[in-house]
Structure 1
Amino acid sequence: MSPRRTDPQTRTALVDIAAGLLAGEGPQALSARRIAAEAGSSTMTVYTNFGGMSGLVREMVHEGFARLEAYFSHVPETGDPVADMALLGRAYRHNALTNPHLYAVMFGGAAPAGFSLTAEDRQHGRYTLGTVVRCATRCIEAGRFRAGDAELVAHQLWTAVHGLVTLELGEYLIDPCNAGVVFEAQLTGLMIGAGDEFEAATRSVRESQARLAAEFGGVTPYPSASDPA
């Protein structure tokens, strides 16, 4: 007998429901029965699609990074690699604020008892970072960033933006240092820290902000530094 086929739309719906429960109510809310009830299906649907709860949580991690990679794919390479890098930072934040329920699971911040990320799971994140490494290489080759290890530069940028987004999702960044204000200053500071000149970095970061709406369908799910509080 051939294995039972699964519906991709059903799988995605179950992932979103489970991640929402996990982020909103904690690990105690995560059960096949509760997820099935929210989806209007039977508990067997969870096992058919994921083989069990651990498989479902692991799929949340993979789906989260797949969505991040999709956002990164909307950032084309242009003649200004620093603007491209800043836009990748905006894409990272955009994805996190659009999919906060998955973001919490991707890095092991929310998971049921007995579940832990494997090296393979974490490799999804490292693979996604390859886009940032390639952009860092272009910034170095263009003479905008100082000569050095592009992978190390990418990791430094990743940890900085990840930290800000995590604080933002936790609602720790408030006026006068709200997330929009801090993020814009952070992007410019990161580019200067990597070796760019102040005026060039400022110009490229502003260019990346102007490109944001065009690259992401005109939808900005978070305020910019210039928006009213």
Structure 2
Amino acid sequence: MPRPRTHDEALREKLLDRAGELISADGPKALSLRKLAADSGTSTTAVYSLFGSKPDLVNALYAEGFRRFGARLDAVELTGDAVTDLIRLGVAYRESALAEPHLYAIMFSRSVPGFEPNTEAGEVAEATLKPLTTVVRHAVSSGQFQDVAPELITVSLWGFVHGMVSLELSGRLPAGLSVADGYEKALRANASGWLAGAETGR
């Protein structure tokens, strides 16, 4: 009878989540493989077996964050109406960040000094923008949006959502302001500004 696999995907995800929590709470110096193993009820051997070195673990953490983030965006049902679809994607973006802020910090804040994702992890990260770029390119080509470079619109929309979510997670919003109350309205206003005919001065 074959021996059961103890270093499985469930343990891998458990270790990644705990690693992200340690870095998010106390900074990268808190990420000791021995502590990570102890907190997760396993051995350092298991950690090395699944990830290799500490830098490999951080790389896996970065890639895992984008995989989960990408899965949420891919699950958004698109309608063909650019503004509606961008609102839905923006909502999914925020939900992902709020659900797993420990991963969001690794993905976007470069919270581990000197860390650079390897080529594979970088490709995973880049692929997560595909739903957004698809909507924008279709909106431009179909005439829903202004005839400008889709990349400009994509970066503008991404920057807006990322800024809103980052301010919310960091607690840097003005006192008494709840993003949840007006988030979709803000998304609609931002996306609608790119509609054909909405150009300023025309």
- What's the TM-score, normalizing by structure 2? 0.86
CA distance in 2, matches of 1:108, 1:115: 11
Q: Which runs of 5+ in 2 are unaligned?
A: none
**Bigger Cα displacement from structure 2, 189-198 vs 123-132:** 189-198
Q: How far does residue 155 in structure 1 lie from its aligned partner after superposition?
A: 1.5
Paired letter, 1:171: G
Structure 1 counterpart of 2:186, one-letter code = Q
* Alignment pair present for 1:184 and 2:184: yes
- The aligned residue for residue 213 of structure 1 is none
Per the TM alignment, residue 175 of structure 1 is displaced from its structure 2 partner at its CA by 4.3
- The Cα shift of 1:25 comes to 1.5
Secondary structure of 1:13's aligned partner:
helix
Aligned to 2:14: 13
CA distance in 2, matches of 1:70, 1:34: 30
Partner amino acid for 1:93? R
Deviations 1:170-197 (A, max 9, x none): 0112444322245234312211221267
Contact 1:61 1:106 in 2 (8 A): yes
Inter-partner Cα distance in structure 2 for 1:128 and 1:163: 17
Letter in 1 for 2:140: I
Any gaps of 5 or more consecutive residues in structure 1? 199-229
SS of the residue corresponding to residue 173 of structure 1 reads: coil
Counterpart amino acid of 2:172? Answer: Y
In percent, how many aligned pairs have the same letter?
37
Taking only aligned residues, the RMSD between alpha carbons, in angstroms, comes to 2.2
* Post-superposition CA distance 1:115-154 (Å, at most 9, x none): 3334553333222112111011222234321122222211
Whether the aligned pair in 1 keeps the contact of 2:91 and 2:184 (CA below 8 Å) is no
Aligned to 1:166: 166
Cα distance change, pair 34–5 in 1 and its aligned pair in 2 (3 A): closer
Aligned residue for 1:212? none
Structure 1 segment 1-229 matched on structure 2, within 5 A: 6-111=7-112, 113-118=113-118, 120-181=120-181, 183-195=183-195
8 A contact 1:46–1:53 mirrored in 2? no
Report deviation, 1:108: 4.2
Contact 2:101 2:169 in 1 (8 A): yes
SS of aligned partner of 2:61:
helix
Q: In the aligned structure 1, how far is the partner of 2:131 from the partner of 2:80? A: 16
Distance across 2 between alignment mates of 1:120 and 1:110: 20
- Structure 1 residue 10: deviation in Å? 1.0
Moved more, 91-100 or 119-128: 119-128
Specify the code of the residue in structure 1 equivalent to 2:47: V
State the 1:83 CA deviation: 0.5
Q: Deviations 1:58-93 (Å, cap 9, x if unpaired)?
A: 011100100111101111221423211110011111
